[in-house]
Amino acid sequence: MRFLRTLRLAMLPSERATPLTRSRTPRWARWMLAGILSSSAVMYLLDIRSAGFSDFYATGAKSMSISWRALLFGAFDPNATITLDKLSGFLIPQAVSARIFGFTPWALALPQSIEGLITIAAVFWLANRWLGPVGGVISAALMAFTPLLVSMFSHPMEDSMLTMFTVLAVVAWQRSIETDRLRWLVLAGVFVGLGFQAKMMQSWLILPTLALVYFLVDRRPRSGRVVRIALMCIVAVAVSISWITVINAFPASSRPYIDGTTNNNIFAMVFGYNGVDHFIPGLFPGALPADTAPSGGTASASSLLVKILGHTPIKLLFPEYATQVGWLYPVVAAGIVLGIRQLKRSRHSLGGDGGRTDDPGSDRRLGIAVQFSLALLITLAGVMGVISLPHSAYVAALALPLSLLSAIGAILLWGEFRAKTSRWRFALPIVVAAETAWTVWLLASYPTFARWIVIPVLLVGLAATAGLLLIALGRVQVRRLLIPLTASAVAVCFAAPVIWSVSTVNPAFAGTANDAHAGPLNVSVFNPPVKKVASYGTGLNSNRTSPYTATMEDAAYDYAAKHGPKLQYVLATDAWRSASPMIMDEASRVLPVGGFTSRAPSSTPAEIARLVHRGSLRFILLTSAGDKNTSRSTTIAALQAWTYSHCLVVPPLTFDIDGFPTVSGFPDYLYDCGSA
């Protein structure tokens, strides 16, 4: 009975809650937001012209756009024989867009651009409620001109949907604190669960921050807070696993094979292959283990140091990541220091438009903003620091707390600077000097890109620092110099990230569909250099980047289709890199084997034999080992052994290949299993 009473009280608004509502947003702030959104929309529309494909996931989007069964299960191929190696929720908007506008790179990227605009508007709403209109405009502008986000929102990537739902979850959570209504907290859990469909367990990284800060700031009794937090987390988990629970309820014979697993279990794929096995290999039963590469020999002391640093947050200070999200690290540091100080000194009064007014809830709103931003930054930086970052897009999650802390830092620095009796008035010129030095150091890391801006940033930064220092000392008149010096300080902070963001209009600096990156690609000490080919990205290219094999395989598919027009499958192939261009070019009867890593036991030799025996499959395309499939795959080795012993190779001379230079030395071969 006591539990039921606690639960009932947790559902009701608290009588001790302090109203946190804020007056309407002024017109100038709304116009500023409109300008920020318009600028972002223009950049996105210019960038998506060269968005390109991430062939593995673009193939899934293609299949989902033409097959309802593939859409339901998130399958790689239209026949839904095997799923993708991730949840496909982020591909649903892409599939819908492709169904409406046609299968093109810009159609796949368009949903992400819309998600980006929603994210920026939501960040403005969030910061405006906590920090006022100035804070809202600063935070929205920083999100809009974070270079990594500009690239990410211009390409078909799963991180875009995750970022949008994370921000929406925080907005709903904030609204729950403002109104003391449980339904908003439940909605926050729903948004976290929807973010799970985009990038699985990474969406849960926001939950500890939401739970901790809610527990600290809510005014109801402790038991009521715990019940509400538990309910939010339960809703988040329930929505997260809802889709995979439905898929898992289908018999194995009635659904595609689950890629990334050895036991055809989607929970193993989500929580093992894409989850805890990254930290402790083999922890989750049924998850496909990592494909270990041969050792390259004894590591040197320097490489060992790099490896150690690569698993600490220190790597986030290096240009590879700092130029993408961290141009304002000194301002963020000021926001942390002054924010903590503000929490300890709630009676402190700020001046200026961005500071507090007579609003009785402003102290509490600012305190919540500081606690939330700092807790989220610590959580994300800790996780990002420990794990390997194969893609720079992972650090996009840091953009939200960094933007909020930058806005907090700017507002508090300005307030302290305007308080003539405060010893902290010197913090603003010190931070401007630090920001100038930090920006110049990052710019100097790229000797062939935007070098023309180094000297202006240095001169303007030094002038702003000197002028602000003289004002803090009381040596010069404030009114005459304050506006130009403030504009100079803003220019120092925004010049480089804006240039990096605008550079994405040039496809050479726009990143790819496989990894977001703005500006020049700096070879990282943490990750090996990657090769960028045309508009198809890095790392996940299909053999479309190899015209030699692509020409042969297109001809092989045409030959197989001509000699098996009514079969269930035109051919089976041992590599998704061969199946991908065929499916994207309207070939719907391709049977891929092995999944993304070539090691998933999706179609065993016994299953292939049954298909051949009943006349559903006749041809098998085997690719060269190590070229498009994994040579260490037992799945592919077994398929190849069965094919060699049961099928006959089709002579390449049989194919109609116009202008092909030679007919010998093919890395790939087509086998006929129907006439053996």
pLDDT digits (tens, 9 = 90+) for 223-275: 889 999 999 999 999 999 999 999 999 999 899 999 999 999 999 999 999 88
Predicted confidence (pLDDT) at residue 527 exceeds the cutoff of 70? no
Mean pLDDT of 391-406: 92
In this prediction, residue 352 has a pLDDT band, given cuts at 50, 70 and 90, of very low
DSSP string, 284-324: STTBPPP-PPPP-SPPPHHHHHHHHHTTSGGGGGSHHHHHH
Task: Report the candidate in 603, 604, 594 with the shortest Cα–Cα distance to residue 631.
Answer: 594
- Determine which helix (DSSP H) or strand (DSSP E) holds 442, and give its type and residue range: helix 427-444
- Would you state the pLDDT for residue 275? 85
137 contacts 181 by C-beta, under 8 angstroms: no
Farthest-apart Cα atoms in the chain, separation: 95
Q: Of 395-399, 507-511, 574-578, 628-632, give the lowest mean pLDDT range.
A: 628-632
Distances (CA, A) of 502 to 144, 239, 298, 417: 11, 37, 43, 32
Q: What is the CA radius of gyration of the chain?
A: 28
- What single letter denotes the amino acid at residue 613? H
Position 13 scores a pLDDT of: 55
Catalogue the E-assigned strands of 514-632.
571-573, 590-592, 619-622
Contact 668, 552 (CB under 8 A): yes
Task: Considering only residues 507 and 163, tell me which one the structure prediction assigns the higher pLDDT.
Answer: 163
The pairing of beta strand 590-592 with beta strand 571-573: parallel
What CA–CA distance (Å, rounded) separates 252 from 273?
19
The whole-number pLDDT of residue 532 equals: 41
Q: What pLDDT is stored for residue 347 in this prediction?
A: 47
The residue that leads in pLDDT, 511 or 10, is 511
Of 14-23, 170-179, 320-329, 507-516, the range with the lowest mean pLDDT is 14-23
Ordered DSSP codes for 350-411: --STTS--S-TTHHHHHHHHHHHHHHHHHHHHHHHHHS--SSGGGGGGGHHHHHHHHHHHHH
The pLDDT, as a whole number, for residue 264 is 92
Contacts of 40 (CB under 8 A, 6+ apart): 116, 117, 120, 144, 150, 153
Per-residue model confidence (pLDDT) at position 542: 42
pLDDT class of 298 with cuts at 50, 70, 90 = low
Per-residue pLDDT averaged across 328-333, rounded? 95
- pLDDT-derived band of residue 528, with 50, 70 and 90 as boundaries? very low
With contact defined as beta carbons under 8 Å apart, do 646 and 673 qualify?
Answer: yes
State the amino acid at position 177 in one-letter form. I
What average pLDDT does range 319-334 have in this prediction? 93
pLDDT class for 534, splitting at 50, 70, 90? Answer: very low
What is the C-alpha separation between 139 and 338, in angstroms, rounded? 17
Task: Give the pLDDT score at 2.
Answer: 52
SS3 589: coil
Residue pointed to by tokens 């500890």: 208
Report residue 666's pLDDT band, with 50, 70 and 90 as the boundaries.
low
Find which of 209-218, 298-307, 440-449 is predicted with most confidence, using mean pLDDT.
Answer: 209-218
The SS3 assignment for 326 reads coil
pLDDT of residue 38: 96
Average pLDDT over residues 655-663: 53
- Helix 399-418 and helix 158-179: axis angle, to 10°? 50
Q: Provide the token pair at 135.
A: 């804070």
Task: Say which amino acid occupies 499.
Answer: I
Q: Are 621 and 667 in contact (CB under 8 A)?
A: no
Average pLDDT rounded to a whole number, residues 368-389: 90
> Domain coordinates of the chain in residue numbers?
27-251, 258-289, 543-672
60, pLDDT greater than 90: yes
Q: In what order do the strands lie in the sheet with 619-622?
A: 590-592, 571-573, 619-622, 669-672, 648-649
Question: Do strands 669-672 and 571-573 pair parallel, antiparallel, or not at all (unpaired)?
Answer: unpaired
What pLDDT, on a 0 to 100 scale, did the predictor assign at position 30? 93
Q: What residue type is 663 in one-letter code?
A: V
pLDDT at 388 (0 to 100): 77
Ranges of beta strands (E only) in 552-604 are 571-573, 590-592
* Helices and strands: H and E segment counts in the chain: 24, 5
**Range from 349-358, 400-409, 490-499 that averages highest in pLDDT:** 400-409
pTM of the predicted protein model? 0.89
Among 419, 428, 242, smallest CA distance to 335 is for 428
Among 269, 303, 109, residue whose Cα is nearest residue 200: 269
CA 382 to chain centre: 17
Rounded CA separation 320/108 (Å)? 27
Helix/strand/coil (H/E/C) assignment for every residue in 49-92: HHCCCCHHHHHHHHHHHHCHHHHHHCECCCCCCEECCCCCCCHH
For the chain, percent of residues with pLDDT exceeding 90 = 46
User: 3-state DSSP call for residue 139?
Assistant: helix
Full DSSP string of 227-295: HHHHHHHHHHHHHHHHHHHHHHHS-GGGS-B-TTBSS--HHIIIIIITTGGGTSTT-STTBPPP-PPPP
3-state secondary structure of 593: coil
Q: How confident is the model at residue 350 (pLDDT cuts 50, 70, 90)?
A: very low
Contacts of 621 (CB under 8 A, 6+ apart): 553, 556, 557, 560, 571, 572, 573, 574, 578, 668, 669, 670, 671
pLDDT digits (tens, 9 = 90+) for 269-294: 999 998 887 777 778 888 888 765 55
Which phi-psi region, left, alpha or beta, contains residue 422 (left: φ > 0; alpha: ψ -120 to 50)?
Answer: beta
Residues 6+ apart with CB under 8 A from 31: none
Give residue-wise pLDDT tens across range 626-637. 556 655 678 888
Looking at residue 59, its pLDDT comes to 92
Task: Calculate mean pLDDT across residues 427-447.
Answer: 91
Average pLDDT, the chain: 83
List pLDDT tens digits, range 99-155.
Answer: 999 998 899 999 999 999 999 999 999 999 999 999 999 999 999 999 999 999 999
Give 546-552 contacts, CB < 8 A, sequence gap 24+.
Answer: 546/627, 548/667, 549/578, 549/623, 549/624, 549/627, 549/628, 549/666, 549/667, 549/668, 550/581, 551/657, 551/660, 552/652, 552/655, 552/657, 552/660, 552/666, 552/668
Which of 189-198, 512-521, 524-533 is modeled with the greatest confidence? 189-198
Compare 659 and 125 and report the one with higher pLDDT: 125
The tokens for 543 are 């053999």
Run of H or E including 669? strand 669-672
Q: Are 432 and 468 in contact (CB under 8 A)?
A: yes
Q: What's the average model confidence in pLDDT over 403-430?
A: 88
pLDDT at 593 exceeding the cut of 70: yes
Question: pLDDT at residue 617 above 50?
Answer: yes
Of the candidates 44, 49, 70, the one whose C-alpha atom is nearest the C-alpha of residue 59 is 70
User: Is the predicted pLDDT of residue 4 greater than 60, yes or no?
Assistant: no
Task: Band the pLDDT of 315: cuts 50, 70, 90.
Answer: confident
How many residues in the chain?
A: 676
Is residue 51 predicted with pLDDT exceeding 90?
A: no
Bridge partners (DSSP) listed for residue 261: 287
